[in-house]
Amino acid sequence: MLRRLKLTLLAASERVGLSSLVARSPWRRARLLILGYHGVALRDEATWNGELFLTEATLRRRFELLRDAGANVLSLEDGLRHLRAGTLPPRSVVLTFDDGFADFSRLAYPLLQEFGFHATLYLTTHYVERNYPVFTVMLRYLLWSGRDRPLSLAGISASNEIAVLSTPHGSRTADESIRAHAEAEQLSTLARDALLVEVAHRLGIDFEELRAGRVLSLLTSGEVASLDPSVVSVHLHTHRHRVPVDRQLFVAECADNAAAIERITPRWAGSKHFCYPSGVTNPRFLPWLRELGIESATTCISGLASRSTEPLMLPRLLDTMQLTDREFVAWLLGVGALLPRRAITR
């Protein structure tokens, strides 16, 4: 309902010239659009989760729209500097990619080079240094891929039930009980990987093929180190992709992340830019981030950043498969930010 109303309003604002008026306005000129991406699908990940993954064709289309609309794609560092100084060029955009999925090197990076765009990679480092698929994400993908088959939870959770994965309730129960088992048993990354192998085996999925194809794996240290700093900046996203609501643990997550980035690519040691994993924010984090000397932090709250925006609570539009070309361009021009919207968390 809200969606249909928005699309109607956007069409009307284009017709009466409001969209281009907003695009040329001092109001838009003083604002920065930060776009957020995660993975680019190596196979059917975008069908599974169109919020976490875009197809390569969709990402290419977005880049074409940016180019054709005369967007000024800036690095995060330049974008924030110009925002503070009040010197942003028209239709300013910053591109960010979260997590550091292996597909970034293979699919997003060549597109960035082709279009001459700069991007920030918010890197979560635990899996980068281990080279296993990300446990929670892969578990959900396996349960989706094998949704036509029953799954016995015996031995891989505290339950002995047979999960019916074709129903939302069944797949959620399986996901929660297997994750709870891994937590309760305090399984190591290696043991969690073995658990994924077992789930895949029970569902008749060739796990080694997924592993070899780097599906839902993160970049290796070598791949991160080989990214050209004139194309990609590497910044903070916590070591284990979590934000504990405890000062000491929170600070340790950030410090471990920073130390790992320094080991992987010394070029980006001492980063002062952070992205909240899963978009989880909390007012308590702000003084802790300031203590760490962090200058900017991006959220998953849709909006345009202005000079008066708290730099540790920067809004960001998460681009998804569900977003139409019209909505995407409306955000670029600025009119998208004027329409009602819901916050998305990831």
**Residue numbers at the binding site for Zn ion (CB under 5 A):** 98-99, 277
Measured distance CA(140)–CA(179) in Å, rounded: 10
Q: Are strands 232-236 and 119-123 parallel, antiparallel or unpaired?
A: parallel
Provide, rounded to whole angstroms, the least separation between the CB of residue 251 and Zn ion: 19
Task: Please provide residue 120's backbone torsions phi and psi, each rounded to the nearest 5 degrees.
Answer: -100, 135
Provide, rounded to whole angstroms, the least separation between the CB of residue 277 and Zn ion: 5
Measured distance CA(319)–CA(15) in Å, rounded: 24
Q: Please report, for residues 52, 117, 167, the alpha-carbon distance to residue 57 in angstroms, rounded to integers and kept in the order given.
A: 15, 17, 30
Please identify, using beta-carbon distances, which residue of 80 and 121 lies nearer to Zn ion. Answer: 121
Provide, rounded to whole angstroms, the least separation between the CB of residue 52 and Zn ion: 9
Q: How far apart are the first and last CA of the chain?
A: 23
The H or E element spanning position 234 is strand 232-236
Closest CA to 41 of 156, 213, 178, 212: 213
Please identify, using beta-carbon distances, which residue of 33 and 134 lies nearer to Zn ion. Answer: 134
In sequence order, the 6+-apart residues with CB closer than 8 A to the CB of 94 are 32, 33, 34, 35, 73, 74, 75, 76, 79, 120
Please identify, using beta-carbon distances, which residue of 226 and 278 lies nearer to Zn ion. Answer: 278
Please identify, using beta-carbon distances, which residue of 98 and 193 lies nearer to Zn ion. Answer: 98
Please identify, using beta-carbon distances, which residue of 151 and 254 lies nearer to Zn ion. Answer: 254
Provide, rounded to whole angstroms, the least separation between the CB of residue 287 and Zn ion: 23
Provide, rounded to whole angstroms, the least separation between the CB of residue 278 and Zn ion: 6
Please identify, using beta-carbon distances, which residue of 31 and 316 lies nearer to Zn ion. Answer: 316
Task: Please provide residue 300's backbone torsions phi and psi, each rounded to the nearest 5 degrees.
Answer: -115, 30
Please identify, using beta-carbon distances, which residue of 122 and 328 lies nearer to Zn ion. Answer: 122
- Helix %, strand %, coil % of the chain (to 5): 45, 15, 40
Token code pair at residue 343: 């916050």
Measured distance CA(179)–CA(217) in Å, rounded: 18
Token code pair at residue 17: 């010239």
Provide, rounded to whole angstroms, the least separation between the CB of residue 83 and Zn ion: 23
Provide, rounded to whole angstroms, the least separation between the CB of residue 245 and Zn ion: 18
Measured distance CA(167)–CA(173) in Å, rounded: 10
Token pair 């569900």 is found at 322
Provide, rounded to whole angstroms, the least separation between the CB of residue 271 and Zn ion: 15
CB-nearest residue to Zn ion = 98
Please identify, using beta-carbon distances, which residue of 39 and 277 lies nearer to Zn ion. Answer: 277
The H or E element spanning position 327 is helix 325-333
Provide, rounded to whole angstroms, the least separation between the CB of residue 99 and Zn ion: 4
At residue 70, what is the residue type? G
Please identify, using beta-carbon distances, which residue of 99 and 223 lies nearer to Zn ion. Answer: 99
